[in-house]
Structure 1
């Protein structure tokens, strides 16, 4: 089975959104892909996604409220054939862990730009913008990496 892990810093806003968007796309397109998300940091382990990420996901017909943050593990490097970093720091952290199957999500729609942490924006609009960026990039990533390859 093909597999993909979306990775951000805390696994409470960007990567859970990417996971849910990817699962929705996978289901809509009839793809059989193991999809998960994790963070490089450990301070949110076991927490639900942040309130604004839950809200923006729900606005787009996606429910992420049951997801729980977890940290990337060495086992993930073996399980997932593709690791998708949401920004350059996450990419570097995965590389330092020994991952070699890493791409940056922004390479699939935003000329390699980082998918910014929505907390760097003013208010809820940042979450809406980040959702839009992730959705565009995940769609493009799946077209290039997973469709017509089963």
Structure 2
């Protein structure tokens, strides 16, 4: 079973959406998808209500998710670690123990904008529309991830 982790800052907006979107597109018998935050601000809490609402709009239920903080052991427990922005990428990479750990970490939007290092904007202080835009970006990136998984590229 391939294990994929989505990471943002608080694990309440972007990474729960990315987790829910990717889960909705893959076979749960073949893939384990989870999410975490680099900060410990919301441990044990539900995703942001706006993330829950935009996911629900697309028939994805993320209310079973609870926020947790990224840990160094996640490098052992996951095959791929997708981060939402360069700030969180730096935080995750600062915990990497070796080149194998570092090789697992990727910016998620590099899937649709290869090598451009585009960040998924944090919609927390934005309107409902910001969450919709983030959903659409993550949906496109997850489509590419699924295609690459199915083609054996990952």
**Cα offset, 1:31, TM superposition:** 6.6
SS at match of 2:73: helix
Secondary structure, aligned partner of 1:48: coil
C-alpha distance in structure 2 between counterparts of 1:135 and 1:112, whole Å: 17
Aligned equivalent of 2:17: 17
- Aligned pairs for 1:79-94 within 5 A: 79-94=77-92
Q: Compute the TM-score of the two structures, normalised by the length of structure 1.
A: 0.91
Does the alignment pair 1:140 with 2:138?
A: no
Corresponding residue for residue 108 of structure 1: 111
Compute the RMSD of aligned alpha carbons.
Answer: 1.6
Within a 5 Å distance, the mapping from 1:59-74 to structure 2 comes to 59-74=57-72
Give the secondary-structure state (helix, strand or coil) at the position aligned to 1:97. Answer: coil
Matched, 1:131 2:135: yes
* Cα deviations by residue, 1:93-115 (Å, 9 ceiling, x for unpaired): 11101131101001012443101
Query: For the residues of structure 2 that align with 1:5 and 1:119, how far apart are their CA atoms?
Result: 20
- The superposition leaves residues 88-133 of structure 1 with CA deviations (integer Å, 9 ceiling, x where unpaired) of 0111111101131101001012443101111243x10000000000
State the Cα distance separating 1:2 from its structure 2 match. 1.1
CA distance in 2, matches of 1:80, 1:15: 15
User: Structure 1 regions of 5+ residues with no counterpart?
Assistant: none
Tell whether the 8 Å contact from 1:8 to 1:90 is kept in structure 2 after alignment.
Answer: yes
Query: Among 23, 46, 62, which residue is 2:44 paired with?
Result: 46
Of 23, 27, 33, the match for 1:35: 33
Counterpart in the other structure of 1:119: 124
Query: Structure 2: which 5+ residue stretches go unaligned?
Result: none
